[in-house]
Amino acid sequence: MEDGEVVHVTATVIEHAQRPRNYGKPLLSNGHARITGECGDTMEMWVMVRDDVVERATFTTDGCAPSLACGSMATTLAEGKSLEDAASITQSDIIQALGGLPDEVGHCAALAAATLRAACENYAKAAAQRHEPPPSSAAGAQCSSCTDRSCSAQTRRPDESDEEFAQRQALQQRLCRIRHKIVVLSGKGGVGKSTVAVNLAVGLAKNGNSVGLLDVDFHGPSVPTMLGLEGEKPYAQNGELLPVSRDGLKVLSLGFFLESADDAVIWRGPMKMGVIRQLLKDAAWGDLDFLIIDSPPGTGDEPLSVFQLLGTVDGAVIVTTPQRVAEIDVRKSVTFCRKLGAPILGIVENMGSFACPHCGTITSILQEGAGQRIAKDMQIPFLGSIPIDPRVAELADSGIPIIEAHDSASASIMQHIVDEIGRRLST
């Protein structure tokens, strides 16, 4: 560029540079690429391909404003196109869509086109290597052929757009293949709720059921550690997310998607709602006898989102500890379920006594009875009291649920709770 020459930048370039579309790493994708261009800028792109169509494309870059504009436009152009057409988007296509670019930053459009093409090729290569048929859920019931006209997904709501209605039907088609949906929750943190959820899921699977476990405790996802699945990664296939399998138990947790165990999830309510919907709607759960949802403590966004998205649940299992401070908060969980019309399968008291790791004798060392008091006062079933057992923590840290320790008193109590829940649902 000569001294004094004026470079005209279009309004479209400015808009995409200042407010880039599709920016950020997505939770789910099945194609990915990362390229560093000649200028030193690095661009990363992810695509979600379903039925050979790029349903979603996102990007990040450490480059300048033109890199942001080009990445934004490239992903915008790709969405809704066939995989072949998206991979064929060129540098010229991006520049033309932006209304032009100064020659000295034309390489940014070349980088965006190359990264998009590589992400599409990454998906195609992975799909070819797997040679796997679409998951069984692809053959599930369709709303258009369903005979249950009482289902809410049959009728479009007055305030719904076409896309919202389609999304709700897609979610319902998943949920229709799950016989029983159980939410494990507590108004108090640190009561062992995840321990109960994990052992409940494993115990039901041991009894011969097909079981899924969904961990929506976004700020403290401990399920991967408790099941020995740290480092495992779900992958997407044919637009579906395949849960991680542990001896037939299907597991999904946000912990699988974090790059580091030290990463903090800093999300507001709408973002959480969207991710929970995606984990329910896009996951290939298939036909399940039970889906267990491990909810974070409290009665806020996450548990409310779970109940709203599920529509109906077969029951809630509420966990408490003996302390009065826990009892006060846990009573709120009972009220929460009742206001939402969710049946309560029962309450579990955790850490109510002490199980000797040597002789197995169970001794009362703390004030007991909070679970039974809540059950009596609020007229809900009392499922059992799990003692403090050092082996519970030791085995959980090793990825082994206590219910798999056949010589443990705690395992026997947990199995009794599992059997009681199964009995209540069967009747």
pLDDT, one tens digit per residue, over 138-150 is: 334 455 555 555 5
**C-alpha span between 65 and 391 (Å, rounded):** 55
Same domain, 125 and 176: no
Instruction: Kindly provide the b/e burial profile for residues 387-398, where b requires at least 16 CB atoms within 10 angstroms of the residue's own CB.
Output: bbbebbeebbee
Range of the domain at 74: 11-130
Q: What is the mean pLDDT of residues 403-425?
A: 85
Q: Do 413 and 268 sit in the same domain of this protein?
A: yes
Residues 6+ positions from 275 with CB-CB distance below 8 Å = 27, 218, 254, 267
Shared-domain flag, residues 347 and 245:
yes
Measured on CA atoms in the order 238, 239, 245, 250, is the torsion positive or negative? Answer: negative
Let me know if residue 372 belongs to a domain.
Answer: yes
Q: What is the mean pLDDT of residues 124-132?
A: 66
The confidence score (pLDDT) of residue 138 equals 37
Distance between CA atoms of residues 213 and 216, nearest Å: 10
- Shared domain for 240 and 101, answered yes or no, is no
Tokens of 336: 């929460």
- Give a yes or no: residue 35 inside a domain: yes
Structural domain contains residue 338: yes
Condensed to tens digits (0 to 9), the pLDDT of residues 168-188 reads 888 888 888 999 999 999 877
What is the domain-level CATH number for residue 194?
3.40.50.300
For residues 69 and 211, state if they share a domain. no
Give the model confidence (pLDDT) of 59-104 as tens digits: 999 988 999 999 999 999 999 999 999 999 999 999 999 999 988 8
Closest CA to 378 of 316, 426, 421, 296: 316
pLDDT of residue 357 exceeding 70: no
Contact (CB, 8 A) for 346 and 317: yes
Q: Is residue 307 located within the same domain as residue 407?
A: yes
Split at pLDDT 50, 70, 90, the class of 48 is: confident
Evaluate whether residue 370 is within a structural domain.
yes
Q: Which position has the higher pLDDT, 385 or 363?
A: 385
The lowest-confidence range among 24-38, 170-184, 278-292, 365-379 is 365-379
Q: Does residue 157 form part of some domain?
A: no
What are the φ/ψ torsions at residue 166 (nearest 5 degrees)? -65, -40
**Per-residue pLDDT for 388 more than 60?**
yes
Average pLDDT over residues 364-379: 76
* Nearest of 119, 95, 99, 100 to residue 43 by alpha carbon: 119
235 and 110 belong to one structural domain: no
Q: Is the pLDDT of residue 262 over 70?
A: no
In a domain, 217, yes or no: yes
For residues 126 and 242, membership in a common domain is answered with no
**DSSP element (H, E) containing 185:** strand 178-185
Candidate from 182-186, 278-282, 312-316, 379-383 with smallest mean pLDDT? 278-282
- For 359, the token pair is 């002789």
pLDDT band at 7 (very low <50, low <70, confident <90, very high): very low
| Residues 361 and 217 grouped into a single domain | yes
Same domain, 236 and 291: yes
User: Is 151 inside any structural domain?
Assistant: no
In this prediction, residue 127 carries a pLDDT of: 73
How much is the pLDDT for 213?
95
427 or 139: which leads in pLDDT:
427
Structural domain ending residue among the three candidates 82, 109, 130 = 130
Is 138 within the bounds of a domain? no
Specify which of 79-93, 311-325, 330-344, 347-361 reaches the highest per-range mean pLDDT.
79-93
Q: In the structure encoding, which two tokens stand for residue 109, read together? A: 């459009």
pLDDT confidence of residue 268: 57
Interval 226-251 mean pLDDT:
85
SS3 for 245? strand
**Does residue 190 sit in the same domain as residue 125?**
no
**Higher-confidence position of 314 and 296:** 314
Asked whether residue 250 falls in the same domain as residue 208, the answer is yes
pLDDT at residue 2, rounded to an integer? 44
> Is pLDDT of 329 > 90?
no
The average pLDDT across 401-415 equals 82
Q: What share of the chain has pLDDT > 70, as a percent?
A: 82
Assess whether pLDDT exceeds 80 at residue 270: no
- Say how far apart CA 39 and CA 108 lie, in whole Å: 9
Better-scored residue on pLDDT, 87 or 362: 87
Residue 202 pLDDT greater than 50, yes or no: yes
pLDDT computed for residue 361 by the predictor:
65
- So what's the pLDDT on residue 373? 83
Is pLDDT at 313 greater than 80 in this prediction? yes
Type of residue found at 221: P
Q: What pLDDT, on the 0 to 100 scale, is given for residue 269?
A: 54
Greatest mean pLDDT among 148-152, 194-198, 275-279 lies in 194-198
Number of domains in the chain: 2
End residue of a domain, out of 112, 130, 148: 130
Q: To the nearest whole number, what is the mean pLDDT of the chain? A: 82
pLDDT bucket at 426, cuts 50 / 70 / 90: confident
Region 294-315: mean pLDDT is 82
